[in-house]
Amino acid sequence: MASWRPLPDGLSPHAHRLVTRMRQLKDRTGLSLSALERRTSYSRSSWERYLNGKMPPPSEAVAELAALAGEDGRALGQLQTLAAGDWQRSASPGAVPSAPSASEGADEPDGAAPRRRASQLGAWARLRAPYLISGLILAGTAAGVAATWDRAGDVAAGGGFTFRAGVSYDCPVTRNGAWLTAGYSDTRRAYLHQVLTSWDVVEAQCLLEYHGYSVAEVDGAYDAMTERAVKRFQEDHGGLVVDGVIGEHTWEVLRR
């Protein structure tokens, strides 16, 4: 495996620890930067910046990498918050990337300039997100943010799901006729595997916990720990294929 380049000297101790740990997790997965792009919500160039200390990684990127590596992301998420605060305090007030000027891309093919401008603005937003979150924490509003996230478990299963590192959900499993339900999804057919995030995954994690197969954290992310719990469940219930994937047959047994 190729060695990593030295990290920038200006990184704070928290940021240095965060990036070093992320590099270790990336090495554990055995995935290339291009493979990370395919299996996460972030581009190859973004991962290159995060893993070389050029840009603060957002909490979602840290959580997705931890899930890929089968790591409990809670401690890493706390480190990301501390590192993001350091990055914010070290950032110059005038260092915010400016929007591209109208003259940029004048000689580019039709549509290229708008696409590039959208990419630049997206990069700017992704860069500033950790700073804004840290600002909320430093301003003393973290409790309000946490309360909002905690209420996410009350959203109807039909709502869109957004994975948030460190947020877990209660599992009020009840029986509705012949079937068990935790109230997050009524699916009996959804095909679940690493590294999906959805309300269907929350439902499956709750049912696994109900049957005595711990997933460590019910957070809606189908990580390595969830896959291991699924395999143990499948091994203990004859007739199921032991592949760590939840399909129609595994759902049927989970719901009983």
* Domain spans of the chain, in order of start: 13-92+109-140, 156-254
Q: Do domains 13-92+109-140 and 156-254 have the same CATH topology?
A: no
Task: Determine the straight-line distance between the first and last CA of the chain, rounded to whole angstroms.
Answer: 46
What's the pLDDT at 202? 95
Question: When comparing pLDDT for 107 and 201, which is higher?
Answer: 201
Question: In angstroms, rounded to a whole number, what is the distance separating the alpha carbons of residues 37 and 34?
Answer: 5
What's the angle, vertex CA 150, arms to CA 253 and CA 203, rounded to 5? 10
- DSSP lists the bridge partners of residue 251 as none
Task: Give whole-number Cα distances, 36 to 29, 61, 124, 179, 236, in Å.
Answer: 9, 10, 21, 38, 33
What's the pLDDT at 1? 54
Helices of type H across the chain? 13-29, 33-39, 44-51, 59-68, 73-90, 112-138, 142-150, 199-210, 224-236, 248-254
Q: Taking the model in full, what pTM does it have?
A: 0.44
Contact (CB, 8 A) for 45 and 6: no
In which band, very low, low, confident or very high, does the pLDDT at 76 lie, cut at 50, 70 and 90? confident
CATH class of 156-254: mainly alpha
Q: What is the mean pLDDT of the chain?
A: 78
Give mean pLDDT, residues 134-148: 41
Least confident among 117-131, 135-149, 165-179: 135-149
Contact (CB, 8 A) for 220 and 63: no
Q: Which residues lie below 8 Å from residue 253, measured CB to CB, with a gap of 6+?
A: 233, 237, 240
What's the pLDDT at 114? 52
What's the pLDDT at 2? 62
Give mean pLDDT, residues 180-207: 93
Question: When comparing pLDDT for 117 and 239, which is higher?
Answer: 239
3-class SS string, 36-55: HHHHCCCCHHHHHHHHCCCC
CA count, 13 A, side-chain hemisphere, 13: 0
Architecture of domain 13-92+109-140: Orthogonal Bundle (1.10)
Question: In angstroms, rounded to a whole number, what is the distance separating the alpha carbons of residues 201 and 246?
Answer: 9
Question: When comparing pLDDT for 23 and 156, which is higher?
Answer: 23
